[in-house]
């Protein structure tokens, strides 16, 4: 699954550590999500969505649907 | 700014969980050592004291399991996934190698008796390898 987390974080000038603090997860988790190595659970995805005030589908993109 | 990040609630709670688990594990190890070596060096021949210390060690073990549960529940979802994969590897590896080791003993392929301590050491080693592998994969 692709995501725009890194771009959104950079737009707000937040570090990975700052974002991890806001989401109550480890910096390792933020890094893994940004690199596409780990897909967050639905509750965490909603949390990210609320934090950036954006719908989930504008942050996360299903790669199988985007390739169609 | 960085100081406030280091001290946020989630991080603090996790650090507390790790300290609690370390404390329970430490006490469990000490009571295990007392229960194991006490009959030889401290109370030779007194089975009542041995029974009491084995019971204490067992109860502390239950507390250690509780502390481990608290620690695991406090981790975030990626950390829990890494732990789960490492524990699955450790359990599977321990089961397969443990049974093979036991078979080698019962079929006299090895001369010495199969010791459970070797299995514990093997499972710990596999668990640590699993953790390292998981952490590296999600780096």
Which pLDDT score is estimated for B9?
85
Q: Which residue of B has its CA nearest to A29?
A: B78
Across the interface, do B78 and A26 touch by the CB < 8 Å criterion?
yes
- Within 8 A by CB and 6+ apart from B63, the residues are B24, B27, B28
Of the residues B35, B52, B75, the one at which a domain ends: B75
Measure CB to CB from residue A37 to each of B8, B11, B138 and give the nearest one: B138
Across the interface, do B138 and A28 touch by the CB < 8 Å criterion?
yes
Which pLDDT score is estimated for A52?
97
Count chain A–chain B contacts defined by CB atoms under 8 A.
44
If pLDDT is split at 50, 70 and 90, which confidence band does A1 have? Answer: confident
Of the residues B75, B90, B111, the one at which a domain ends: B75
Kindly tell me if the per-residue pLDDT of B119 is higher than 70.
yes
> How many domains does chain B fold into?
2
**pLDDT (tens digit, 9 = 90+) per residue, B80-102?**
999 999 999 999 999 999 999 99
Complex confidence, ipTM: 0.88
**pLDDT (tens digit, 9 = 90+) per residue, B23-80?**
999 999 999 999 999 999 999 989 999 999 999 999 999 999 999 999 999 999 999 9
Which pLDDT score is estimated for A67?
53
**Domain assignment of residue A32, given as a range:** 2-55
Residue A19 near residue A52, CB atoms below 8 Å: no
If pLDDT is split at 50, 70 and 90, which confidence band does B139 have? Answer: confident
Q: Would A40 be classed as within a structural domain? A: yes
**pLDDT (tens digit, 9 = 90+) per residue, B39-55?**
999 999 899 999 999 99
Q: Would A63 be classed as within a structural domain? A: no
Q: Would A65 be classed as within a structural domain? A: no
If residue B47 lies in a helix (H) or strand (E), which one and from where to where? helix B47-74
If pLDDT is split at 50, 70 and 90, which confidence band does A66 have? Answer: low
Judge if B80 and B42 occupy the same domain. no
Q: How many degrees, rounded to 5, is the angle at CA A53 between CA A49 and CA A57?
A: 45
Judge if B86 and B51 occupy the same domain. no
In 3D space, the residue among B20, B22, B17, B31 whose CA is nearest the CA of residue B60 turns out to be B31
> How many domains does chain A fold into?
1
Measure CB to CB from residue A32 to each of B1, B9, B138 and give the nearest one: B138
A24 touches chain B (CB under 8 A): yes
Judge if B131 and B88 occupy the same domain. yes
Of the residues B75, B90, B118, the one at which a domain ends: B75
**Residues of chain A found within 8 Å of residue B78, distances taken between Cβ atoms:** 25-26, 28-29, 32, 38
Q: Which two tokens stand for residue A55?
A: 């719908």
**pLDDT (tens digit, 9 = 90+) per residue, A17-47?**
999 999 999 999 999 999 999 999 999 999 9
**Domain assignment of residue B15, given as a range:** 1-75
Across the interface, do A38 and B138 touch by the CB < 8 Å criterion?
yes
Q: Would A64 be classed as within a structural domain? A: no
Strand partners, A2: A61
């Amino acid at each position: 699954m692709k995501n725009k987390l890194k771009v959104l974080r950079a737009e707000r000038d937040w570090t990975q550590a700052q974002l991890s603090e806001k989401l109550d997860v480890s910096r390792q988790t933020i890094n893994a999500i940004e690199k596409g190595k780990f897909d967050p659970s639905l509750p965490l995805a909603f949390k990210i969505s609320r934090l950036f005030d954006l719908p989930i589908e504008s942050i996360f993109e299903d790669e199988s649907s985007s390739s169609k | 700014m960085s100081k406030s990040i280091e001290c946020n609630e989630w991080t603090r709670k996790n650090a507390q969980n790790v300290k609690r688990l370390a404390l329970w594990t430490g006490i469990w190890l000490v009571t295990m050592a007392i229960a194991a070596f006490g009959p030889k060096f401290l109370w030779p021949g007194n089975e009542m004291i041995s029974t009491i210390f084995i019971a204490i060690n067992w109860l502390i073990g239950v507390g250690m399991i509780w502390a481990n549960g608290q620690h695991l529940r406090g981790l975030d979802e990626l950390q829990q996934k890494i732990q789960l994969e490492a524990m699955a590897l450790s359990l599977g590896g321990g089961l397969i190698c443990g049974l093979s080791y036991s078979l080698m003993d019962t079929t006299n392929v090895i001369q010495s008796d199969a010791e459970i301590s070797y299995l514990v050491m093997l499972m710990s080693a596999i668990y640590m390898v699993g953790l390292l592998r998981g952490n590296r994969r999600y780096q």
